[in-house]
Amino acid sequence: MQGKNKLDQVVIHVGALSLKESLGLAQHAAQIGADGIAVIAPFFFKPWNKDILIDFLKEVAAAVHELPFYYYHIPSLTGVKSKY
């Protein structure tokens, strides 16, 4: 990983168009030594409601539970405007 030894921490973005892609990217990030992962929800196949969004996020975070997980909530992309 090119950022190692140059940055204090490397957080890799694993947002993708599907859960399968995000899971694969998250696992790859863990394998190469990332310090954390960041994700946005799928924005093409949008979650129908906040519960589906939360389930998606839980699954991605659980895939690499040892890493810090950051979520960027962008309601205009997801269509989910509920407060959490």
Phi/psi-derived region of residue 65, left when phi > 0, alpha when psi is between -120 and 50, beta in every other case: alpha
> Per the structure block, which two tokens stand in for 8?
């204090």
9 φ/ψ angles, rounded to the nearest 5 degrees: -145, 150
For residue range 42-66, list pLDDT tens digits in order. Answer: 776 666 788 888 899 999 999 999 9
Q: How far apart are the two ends of the chain, measured CA to CA in Å?
A: 34
Output the pLDDT for position 61: 96
- pTM of the entire predicted model: 0.80
pLDDT at 67 over 90: yes
Of 45, 36, 39, the residue nearest 17 (C-alpha)? 45
Residue with tokens 């589906």: 52
pLDDT at 75 over 60: yes
